[in-house]
Structure 1
Amino acid sequence: MTNTTLQASREWWSQRWLELLDSYRFKKRLERARNYARQGNVLSIEFKGAKVLAKVQGSEVEPYKVSLSLDSFSDEEWGYIIETMSKKAVFAAKLLAGEMPQNIEEVFTANGLSLFPFTLGDVHSKCSCPDKANPCKHIGAIYYQLGDRFSEDPFVLFQLRGRTKEQIISDLRQLRGEKLEVKTTKKDDGQKLINSHQSSVRIDECWQYNEPLDSSLVVITPSSNETVLDMLGAIPLGKTEDDSINLNSSDVVMKYLETLYKDVSQKAMLAAMNVGGS
């Protein structure tokens, strides 16, 4: 696979990261950095908070130590970011599906920030090698390795800005939960008055949605090998004098339900993908 083909196969957010490095004018140095990244010279990469610490094997016996970081956003800035995210369910839906929303930058620019660094100067990197140029081939190798990690987990990019996947998901859930929270207060006569942060909801309309559904909110995935039947376990049929009869009865029912489950799952997938539709 050529470098051009490899680059084209990457997700857009990984490409965006690597475009920053490709803007570096010393192409021979970048070629050596790519070779280091592909040939196993990067011995380890780990996060210490928002900073990346790595070891890269160079020409010396001892591997070189590399550090790389971006400017982290403050707690206040992250608060604004999460609040903006929570207003659009598409962001949470795609991120939870392991995909970076195409217009995710809007969340940051709306708050006067940028998720991606503008120039290589915005990336703080250091290497213990004697090469005075920055990025050296060891730092460059870490750039490329991080591009691979972004492909596997887009939340790594957020971690460079100071928030882990767990923190972001927790903050989103908490913020969305607060919007649905129902508070009770006492009136002067002692009766309880219920106040909701949202408009009143009719129970009979709870499962109705009359507006066109944004296709970007829909993530269609095939069912896994483990179904809800596996999680529920064997059916606890009534005890009989002959335990073998009880076991056989349970098996028959489970086999029947498994057949129905697979049939319904297949029809649901076909319906969701509009196969055979007009």
Structure 2
Amino acid sequence: MTDAYSQPIREWWAQRWIDVLESFGWVRRLARARIYAREGNVLSIEFNGEKVAALVQGTAPEPYKVTLSLDPFTDEQWSYVIESMSQRAIFSAKLLAGEMPQTIEEVFTGNGLSLFPFTKFDIHSRCSCPDPANPCKHIGAVYYLLGDRFGEDPFVLFQLRGRSKEQIIEALRQTRSQGEHKESNLQNADSFEPSATQSSYALNLEKFWHYADELEPSLVVIAPPPSSETVLDVLGTIPLKISDGDATVATKAAQAAMQHLKGIYQSASQQAILTAMNVATPKTGAEL
């Protein structure tokens, strides 16, 4: 079969959702469900908190009503997850850029949870059709459409577990802010001096960033970053709007822009290393 739902989905988390469902052994049912999804039989899909409600057109004149949900995590479980996520800034950066971090599942499993359904009993679904099988082809079609929604917005998957995008971002912000506040308090406590001698430690703001003594050469180490991932990789391709609306032109323009920015990023990194090593920049005959 070569339909859109039998091919790998670009976003790994959306493909993971499909792979998990297909691993439960519903091969024939999901094969029919793919046809329903491909032919547009899912008329609507709405989210009410962590519950999904959809209308799927079957053989009857009136569409069937499908409901689906996963077991939401408790407030305590989410607090552990948020705490773990806040310890790695890359998670917040990627989620804000609309991308699911590759190691996100480790955060949940590390707290004894599973982001994706662990067994078929983790999925609660009902359909108004007369077919006693669960999932029927109408429920299966909704499964595939949910994969599309996850690809568009990874926070939809979190919503099925009980937290909206706004709640997660705000919780991450507060947790990271509290962590920085605690660290600042510890630093202030370590650097505190008795009031009788505080005047001798008054800061001269004009010379705050100046250091007159030479650094011990053996203490200065210039090393490449631990990861090849840059801020450009975190943010992803820049969405450019082309006046004529040609998607192909927009894609090529975005790729060209990213290549240009990567060149600038690489040049800036090289210049920073040369500056740190106190090496003169070689002249190239045409300097900007």
What's the TM-score, normalizing by structure 1? 0.70
Q: Which one is further off, 20-29 or 111-120?
A: 20-29
Aligned length: 225
- The equivalent of 2:177 in structure 1 is 177
Q: Summarize the alignment of residues 1-278 of structure 1 with structure 2, pairs less than 5 Å apart.
A: 2-3=2-3, 7-181=7-181, 196-197=185-186, 204=209, 212=225, 214-216=227-229, 218-220=231-233, 221=236, 268-272=261-265
Unaligned runs of 5+ in 1: 184-194, 227-264
Deviation of residue 180 (structure 1)?
Answer: 2.5
Q: Is the 8 A contact 1:90 1:217 kept in 2?
A: no
Q: Deviations over 1:33-58 (max 9, x none)?
A: 11111111101111111011111111
What is the root-mean-square deviation of aligned Cα atoms in Å?
3.4
Q: Deviations over 1:76-133 (max 9, x none)?
A: 1111100100001111111111111111111111111111111222101111111100
The alignment partner of 1:133 has SS state of: coil
- 1:124–1:198 CA distance, 2 compared to 1 (3 A): farther
Q: Is the 8 A contact 1:180 1:198 kept in 2?
A: no
Separation of aligned partners in 2, 1:17 and 1:5: 12
The alignment partner of 1:196 has SS state of: helix
Separation of aligned partners in 1, 2:237 and 2:148: 25
Separation of aligned partners in 1, 2:65 and 2:32: 17
1:71 alignment partner AA: D
Q: Is the 8 A contact 2:5 2:144 kept in 1?
A: no
Separation of aligned partners in 2, 1:273 and 1:151: 31
Unaligned runs of 5+ in 2: 192-202, 211-221, 242-257, 271-288
Separation of aligned partners in 2, 1:113 and 1:15: 20
Q: Which one is further off, 16-25 or 41-50?
A: 16-25
How many percent identity over aligned positions? 58
